[in-house]
A and B are shown apart, each in its own frame.
Chain A
Amino acid sequence: MPVEKTRPVSFACVEERDPQLDRDAVFEANDSLAAAKMAVRSLDLYYKDFHALHDVTLEFPEKQVTALIGPSGCGKSTLLKTLNRMNDLVEGCRVEGDVLLDGADAYRTLDPCVLRRRVGMVFQQPNPFPMSVYDNVAYGPRTHGVKRRAELDEIVEESLRRAAIWDELKDRLKKSALGLSGGQQQRLCIARALAVNPEVLLMDEATSALDPISTAKIEELVGEIKRDYTVIMVTHNMLQALRVSDKTAFFLLGDMVEAGPTEELFTTPKDQRTADYVEGRFG
């Protein structure tokens, strides 16, 4: 049964380090990392013996879209799942280094449930729960203690509006979410994620299972919601990264090769490997 959340993730030096000291060190030594909305510092990740991420240090600026690109198997999705501890579910997964949220150590000082509320996620395959549209969106707020009906109604409407799907769904809130089209399902999942008011939204190739029209709608939506949220997206589509993101990081075989403003990375890459990859794709 691979779903035991209670199993502690082995985390390097968790016992030996004094968490107070550690956090102070983070605040003092890494001003720029601490200032970013979210950041990783010297992050190494292993799946059993496989070394999947090598010493990654990267910051995700607030209210911007950061795109993670690279060939498949390069570790970009792995990094994304590390940010909200979804990697805890993978047996044999070990994380070393720091994940910072507002400069605080997200792994040692935050309960995973709190971390995941603050750092929401949209998955590659739309995964609405087998319940009504309303219950899907209300699930998160209910989880976090909202009980009053009026308040839930308000959150559901606001979240669906933010995900630009209120007009399509307002008349079928009581219908099963499984009856929606793939694109609608994915926007519903975005609404569901927004309903708990996260600070960061992770998107794991959220458009790869969708048709071009739905993809365009979601890209437009990301442009909208970045005014309020910090978005980190993994994409296999470099044009999408170029269209949507403010900052891009390029990964290759578990290394972060290069990161910088999207325009710069695509037009004047500093690393030859980035240049090869970007050009290879663009022909």
Chain B
Amino acid sequence: MSFGGTLREGVAHVVLAATAAVSIAAVALICVFLFANGIPGIAQIGLPDFLFGMTWRPGNDIYGIFPMIVGSVYVTAGAIVVGVPAGILCAIFLSRFASGRIASLMTPCIELLAGISSVVFGFFGLVVIVPLIRAMHPGSGLSLLAAALILGFMILPTIITVARNSLDAVPASYYEGSLALGATHERSVFRVLVPAAASGIIAGIVLGVCRAIGETMAVVMVAGNQVLIPSSIFDGVRTMTANIVLEMGYAAGLHREALIATGVVLFVFVLVLTLVVNTIKKRGEAR
């Protein structure tokens, strides 16, 4: 190879390695900027007061985000209750019950659902779900229930796609083995295939949880956003994401830092979830 060729190869190698390093740099930058701008705020407020404070009153410089943490957890739990059973069963349907034609009709719909902007979901919630809840129960209708329903619907494509892929990947020999023992199709699917695909299905659920806890716009539009721990599913609720998006536009000083710190708490939640997903995936691969 000529000298020019070697040089070109060397340059290419370095440039490509640099592009690969961009994702490392991005994560590092995000961490640095988020923590550098959030931690001083937390330090000033005091970590226990910040995390467990029940009052959020920026006018008086009181910043407790406990109701928001609880709000995020409640809304996410609601989304799981709504989305996970339907999602897993739908994945089982697509993988093991639907005929080829029905599956190929439904798959693009699920993909389209995955691509729809969260504002469209939020808007749909605002004009359809919220009035329905208002008709059922006195109040504005902007509620934990509305947010859980919309979010549950939004995490469906994530759960369906991941769970279906892992169900499709289960070796056919397991299914045949079960059938050959005289088990019905249904029993073979639920007692052999689903347990065999469990790690993938759980990874799908955690990814859905990740999406639900980080979802912002749809929740802001339907959840009511009161800074109170809700006492029923018809009460309004404010999540951490909603807190940031509602007040960041005009916040300054400590208020602004407290909002960034809210982002830090959310970031930590998501990092832990990502770690969980990766551990599950690794364990699944090891099997």
Contacts and interface: CB of A to CB of B under 8 A. Distances in A.
B173 interface: yes
Contacts of B191: 139, 143
Given A89-B176, A127-B174, A178-B287, A139 B96 contact: no
A129 B192 CA distance: 7
B161 interface: no
A256 B176 CA distance: 26
Contact of B96 (A3, A7, A192): A3
Contact of B195 (A117, A128, A130): A130
A121 B177 CA distance: 8
B202 interface: no
Contacts of B100: 1
Chain B: interface residue count, which band?
20 to 34
Interface string A183-199: 00000010011001000
Contacts of B176: 86, 89, 123, 127
B52 interface: no
Q: From DSSP, what is the main secondary structure of chain B's interface residues?
A: helix
Contacts of A94: none
Interface stretch (B112-120, B178-186, B244-252): B178-186
A37 interface: no
B179 A89 contact: yes
- Give 9 closest A-B pairs by Cβ, nearest first: A117-B182, A5-B185, A127-B173, A121-B180, A140-B181, A116-B182, A127-B177, A143-B183, A113-B182
Given A86-B176, A139-B192, A143-B183, 17 more contacts: A1-B99, A1-B100, A1-B103, A5-B179, A7-B99, A86-B179, A89-B176, A89-B179, A116-B179, A116-B181, A116-B182, A121-B180, A123-B180, A139-B178, A143-B178, A192-B181, A196-B182
Interface of A: 1, 3-7, 84, 86, 89, 113-118, 120-121, 123, 125, 127-131, 139-140, 143-144, 178, 189, 192-193, 196
